Amino acid sequence: MTHSLIKIASFAALILLSACSQNTASDSSFVKVDGIHFTLNGQKHEFVGTNFWYGAYLGQKGEAGNRERLRKELDLFSDLGITNLRVLGASQESSFDNTLKPTTINQDGSYNENLLVGLDYLLSEMDKRGMKAVIFLNNYWEWSGGMSTYINRFSTDKIEDPAVSNWEAYMTNVARFYQLGEAEQAFKKDIEHIVTRKNTITGKPYSQDPAIMSWQLANEPRPGRGDMSEEAIEAYIDWIDKTAGFIKSLDPNHLVSSGSEGKIGSLDDMNIFIRAHQTKNMDYLTFHMWAKNWGWIDPQNMESTFQDALDNASAYIEEHVKVADSLKKPLVMEEFGFPRDGESFERHSPVTYRDKYYQMVFSKVEKYDAFGGSNFWSWGGYGVAQHDDFWWQPGDPFTGDPAQEPQGLNSVFSDDSTTLQIIKSHYQKLINTQ
């Protein structure tokens, strides 16, 4: 009897050990954080990435999508060493001009299943190639609907279309989202709908899908613009903490990030950025960098202003590296872009200064230990602008530039051979140091 009990206990122990091993193996296939580093399969993980926000749109079924192009783009990424894609997981229907159509979430709160299937397909194809997705779920800006759509659904004080009204007022008013309870609750419902989804192609719940690296609260969430009240700033910081915690309660396997631009997206106050990212619910730091938008470069006079752009960018990068070191969290520069020479939108126009800028940025990523990776903005790939004015219209191919900007403004195309070589060389340098 005793001998039998020992055999049973030993067998049970073997089963338990096997289960633990399987869980560990499964757990290691997710990107994790260890101090200032990402890890994957027990090893330090660094990546070369891009913004491929329209990936789910290509993944839709039928004529709405373009799965052949999607696979072709992903294969080119594999050749270049691009393994991390920042993608749009939820777009919201808007009445504004220059916004995406169709969208994931309709004005009545219902969902566009075909776009969600597009996300399923994207993730399934990425997983085949060992790629990881950062999925952002909202947007401070109007081009994918974003926070203004929630405000306009639940507030009588509507936000006006910034394309035909006051852009400064828009940037300030969107911050009302963090204090509008009904809007926040609607967004939480949408978060839950997506984060707890089961992939219709693989049958795998999103929460168990290693193709996802991180859920991201929003694209460039800001506490507002100009002189914001302390109440508004506190509401923003509180929203980041609580929303990130809510996502973690639904999915403990994946990382959560904010999507912040960093200091400039925090009322130009690094202390606000730090306070928003000190929470344990925020796994790593993000920042974005826009030389033209922030006045560091004159696109019509690049030769004489380019050095200023390099100097400002270098200083901005190093500011955020210091914060990452102090908070002991990994850092990702998940948006940076630069116009073509003379701000041309033409596909085959020169990219002399862009290439030099990319080389400088990548050298910083390679230099500083806090960097887990970077995502340049944006991937145009095989997309082609369809109109003489370069403006996107519903049904047009995507080129990486959102609907409120000319197509080709910051796009890296599949035949930008010099830029692609710089990207590939950066990948090779990263893997040689791992």
Q: Quick check: pTM over 0.75?
A: yes
Reply yes or no on whether the pLDDT at 411 is more than 90. yes
Measured CA to CA, the distance from residue 147 to residue 355 in angstroms comes to 34
pLDDT at 432: 84
Reported as a single tens digit per residue, the pLDDT across 146-156 is 999 999 999 99
Contact 154, 182 (CB under 8 A): yes
Closest by CA position to 412, among listed 423, 403, 404: 423
Going along 91-154, which residue ranges are E strands?
132-136
Whole-number Å distance between alpha carbons of 74 and 79: 9
Helix axes 352-367, 302-327, angle to 10 degrees: 20
CB atoms inside a 10 Å sphere around CB 197 = 17
Nearest to 46 by CA among 432, 328, 430, 429: 430
Say which residues have a Cβ less than 8 Å from residue 331's Cβ, sequence separation at least 6: 36, 284, 285, 286, 287, 320, 321, 323, 324, 368, 370, 371, 372
Say whether pLDDT at 162 is over 50: yes
Residues 6+ apart with CB under 8 A from 431: 81
Q: What is the pLDDT of residues 186-245, one digit of tens each?
A: 999 999 999 999 999 999 999 999 999 999 999 999 999 999 999 999 999 999 999 999
pLDDT tens per residue across span 110-137: 999 999 999 999 999 999 999 999 999 9
Q: How far is CA 94 from the centre of its chain?
A: 21
Peptide bond into 102 cis (omega under 30): yes
pLDDT at site 88: 98
Beta strands in 264-365 (DSSP E): 285-290, 331-337
pLDDT of the residue at 27? 78
**Average pLDDT of the chain?**
93
Rounded-to-integer distance, Cα 95 and Cα 238, Å = 29
Q: Which residues pair with 50 in a beta bridge?
A: 85, 376
Q: Are strands 379-381 and 412-413 parallel, antiparallel or unpaired?
A: parallel
Radius of gyration of the chain (CA): 22
Looking from the CA of 158 toward its CB, the CA atoms found within 13 Å total 10
**Residue among 218, 148, 149, 154 nearest 180 (CA):** 154
Q: Measured at the alpha carbon of residue 239, what is the angle toward residues 230 and 45, in degrees to the nearest 5?
A: 120
Peptide bond preceding 378 in cis form (omega within 30 of 0): yes
Phi, psi of 132 (to 5 degrees): -125, 140
CA distance 259 to 366: 22
Q: What does the pLDDT look like over 343-391, one tens digit per residue?
A: 999 999 999 999 999 999 999 999 999 999 999 999 999 999 999 999 9
Read off the pLDDT of residues 333-342 as tens digits, 9 standing for 90 and up.
999 999 999 9
Structure confidence at residue 255 (pLDDT): 98
How many Å apart are CA 322 and CA 229, to the nearest integer?
27
Rounded Cα distance, 369 and 221, in Å: 26
Q: What is each CA distance from 180 to 37, 153, 235, in whole angstroms? A: 36, 11, 10
User: For 256, left (φ over 0), alpha (ψ -120 to 50), or beta?
Assistant: beta
pLDDT band at 185 (very low <50, low <70, confident <90, very high): very high
Contact between 265 and 228 (Cβ < 8 Å): no
- With CA atoms as reference, report the closest residue to 148 among 192, 114, 193, 107: 107
Name residues whose C-beta falls within 8 Å of residue 79's C-beta, 6 or more positions apart in sequence: 424
For residue 14, is pLDDT > 90?
A: no
Q: Is 275 helix (H, G, I), strand (E, B) or coil?
A: helix
What is the distance of C-alpha 249 from the center of its chain? 21
pLDDT at position 273 is: 98
